[in-house]
Amino acid sequence: MLEGILIGLTAALTPFNLMMVIMGCVVGTFIGMLPGLGPMSIIAIMIPVAIGIGDPTAALILLSGVYYGAIFGGSTSSILLNAPGVAGTVATSFDGYPMARKGQAGKALTIAAISSFAGGTIGAILLMIFAPALSTVALLFHSAEYFALMVVGLSAIAAFAGTGQVAKALMMTLLGLMLGTVGEGALSNTPRFTFGMMELQTGFSFITLAMAMFALPEALFLVMNPARAATGESGKITGLRITGAEARKIAPVIGRQSVQGFFIGVLPGAGATIASFLGYAVERNIAKGAEQEEFGKGSIKGLAAPETANNAACTGSFVPLLTLGIPGSGTTAILLGALLALNVTPGPRLMTDTPEVFWAVIISMYLGNLVLLILNLPLIPYIAKILTIPRTFLIPFILFFTLMGSYLGQNNSTELLILVGFGVVATILRFADFPLAPLLIGFILGTMLENNFARAMQLYGGFDFILERPMTMALLVVALILVVLPSYRGYRARKRAEGVADGD
């Protein structure tokens, strides 16, 4: 390993490759800040540039920088505008945006930057240490295990259900799963629930649904509540630094989620989205008393957890890509295509045939995370000033990025009609106090859940795969615990309250 690190340092520290690291991080960060243009889009656009470079090492360093830079920068629009354009930063908005509404936008961006840096850096260290061994672990996961892993992801609904809202959260999750079935089926290319509309052949766009659930209702709320629009608390930006007490509070969260996020990222098909949701769910479930109640209202732990987990998972996703040649997500699938176009074949022999590519990418991740921290921290006061814009001007700004993000996602005008329709429904659901996060979780994980379930059923001819594969059973038990634990806690809290009342 020491020899590999020296090879990586030699390759990564050349002036040209350093320039590629910086360029990738800058492009990725600013693209990540724009709702609707996620890492998949920009990496696809950058592939001709990467191929034009000619050097596979420099090209992969550039594309990798764009990837983790976009995840790093994606928190900005989630925190400031409640408009997550990247699936991996949806959970960031749950506590990041409430913090911005309280006038703590600067602090929220600082926490996001530090958490992202820590998650990415620790993930890079773990990648360097465990990549060869974890490649064999990833091979143990088949369709049955991925199905169970998706169920664990769906069990995160417990983290988004407030007191007495478990039933509402379950209903919204089921609605999300139903929306995920629109389009071509898992076992055939036959369209379902499209009502003869060609535009729905590929299903609903994540970008459109994310904008409809979060950004559009926020703009409509501002329109319907002029007092809130005129005197928003977020117009005043104070407290860009975090205190020592806050740093000590989030340090264990960052440590736990760096490790958990990395190992989730290692699993092909999991990635930053599931890591961020599970990170948020775990931290909320292990929090106690007042800290747990703070989640969803501006908790610094609730912000640090998904930001750490998604960046660590982003790094972890390079394990199956580089050591097995298996893309773990749409973004890494595009990276795989770029590698093949550059005549580099990822797989078990990559570390021996072209070690300079493998190790240079890992070393560049250290450098890239440092560049991202240096790039983002000084810009926080200026980025946060977006919230000093009068709300009457900010509403058209939010609407513009919402509409443009949705249109660019599918490049057809029907998406705008779907966006407005879902946006109105989401606004009504918010008035009825239904949590919107479970719907998006159900939608994002629903397709992967269905595909893996269908493959497992085909392979085993029924539900036998649950009993025949111990890892599948173990993951389903974990999912059950995640769902039951909050209800049990609530039951114990009620019993204690009744005991106190009887004592009085």
Cβ atoms within 10 Å of 308's Cβ, excluding its own: 36
Of 15-24, 331-340, 455-464, highest mean pLDDT: 15-24
Q: Is the pLDDT of residue 235 over 50?
A: no
The answer to whether position 501 is within a domain reads: no
Pairwise CA distance, residues 71 & 65, whole Å: 10
Which residues are CB-contacts of 215 (< 8 A; sequence separation ≥ 6)? 35, 81, 82, 83, 398, 401, 402
Which residues are CB-contacts of 488 (< 8 A; sequence separation ≥ 6)? none
Which residues are CB-contacts of 142 (< 8 A; sequence separation ≥ 6)? 456, 459, 469
The answer to whether position 500 is within a domain reads: no
Pairwise CA distance, residues 501 & 471, whole Å: 45
pLDDT grade, residue 254 (50/70/90)?
very high
3-state SS class at 183:
strand
Contact 346, 336 (CB under 8 A): yes
pLDDT grade, residue 245 (50/70/90)?
confident
Q: In the prediction, which pLDDT does 234 show?
A: 43
HSE, side-chain direction, 13 A CA sphere, residue 481: 9
Least confident of 100-114, 131-145, 241-255, 273-287: 131-145
The answer to whether position 182 is within a domain reads: yes
The answer to whether position 56 is within a domain reads: yes
Query: 103-159 pLDDT, tens per residue?
Result: 888 888 889 889 988 988 898 888 888 776 765 666 677 788 878 877 877 776 655
The answer to whether position 430 is within a domain reads: yes
Residue 322, both tokens: 């580089």
Residues spanned by the domain of 212:
1-226+237-495
Pairwise CA distance, residues 421 & 221, whole Å: 16
The answer to whether position 179 is within a domain reads: yes
The answer to whether position 192 is within a domain reads: yes
Q: In the prediction, which pLDDT does 231 show?
A: 42
Q: What's the total number of domains in the chain?
A: 1
Pairwise CA distance, residues 261 & 272, whole Å: 8
pLDDT grade, residue 253 (50/70/90)?
very high
Q: Is the pLDDT of residue 263 over 60?
A: yes
The answer to whether position 392 is within a domain reads: yes
